[in-house]
Amino acid sequence: DTAVSQTPKYLVTQMGNDKSIKCEQNLGHDTMYWYKQDSKKFLKIMFSYNNKELIINETVPNRFSPKSPDKAHLNLHINSLELGDSAVYFCASSQGLPNTGELFFGEGSRLTVL
């Protein structure tokens, strides 16, 4: 069983379109994250939810909107896609408070904006 699963794995779309990436974890964790990895492999946190509540919201354009329908799911919707949004987006989860910091990552969703 995959612990953290993301869909789709690959996404190719045109500028200006709207797209979503879904994430599910079956680890029973309370906290989920979205990270963006750019072409230079630099990883940056975007958002984090704890038990459906937004707890981290880094400086991300408001075209990006996360949604957590329950603590096992965290989706990412992106409006009006731009070339610079091309990246690999990773979902991750960890235990809630008290937590040890270990993150479990999905396999990533590679977004290519043409």
Partner 1 sequence: AQSVAQPEDQVNVAEGNPLTVKCTYSVSGNPYLFWYVQYPNRGLQFLLKYITGDNLVKGSYGFEAEFNKSQTSFHLKKPSALVSDSALYFCAVRDMNSGGYQKVTFGIGTKLQVIP
List all residues 6 or more positions away from 72 whose beta carbon is below 8 Å from its beta carbon: 24, 25, 26
Distance between CA atoms of residues 45 and 110, nearest Å: 16
- Among 45, 67, 72, 77, the residue binding partner 1 under the rule CB under 8 A is 45
Q: How far is the CB of 80 from partner 1 (least distance, A)?
A: 27
Tell which one of 40, 59, 62, 70 touches partner 1 (CB under 8 A): 40
| Angstrom distance (rounded) from CA 92 to CA 3 | 10
Identify whether the C-beta of residue 96 lies closer than 8 Å to the C-beta of residue 50.
yes
Is residue 55 within the footprint of partner 1 (CB under 8 A)? Answer: yes
Query: Within 13 A of 66's CA, how many CA atoms are on the CB side?
Result: 27
Q: Which helix (H) or strand (E) holds 41?
A: none
Size of the site for partner 1 (CB under 8 A): 25
- Interface with partner 1 by CB under 8 A: which range of 15-23, 67-75, 76-84, 106-114? 106-114
| 38 sits near partner 1 (criterion: CB under 8 A) | no
Q: How far is the CB of 53 from partner 1 (least distance, A)?
A: 9
Select from 11, 32, 50, 76 the one that contacts partner 1 (CB under 8 A).
50
18 belongs to the binding site for partner 1 (CB under 8 A): no
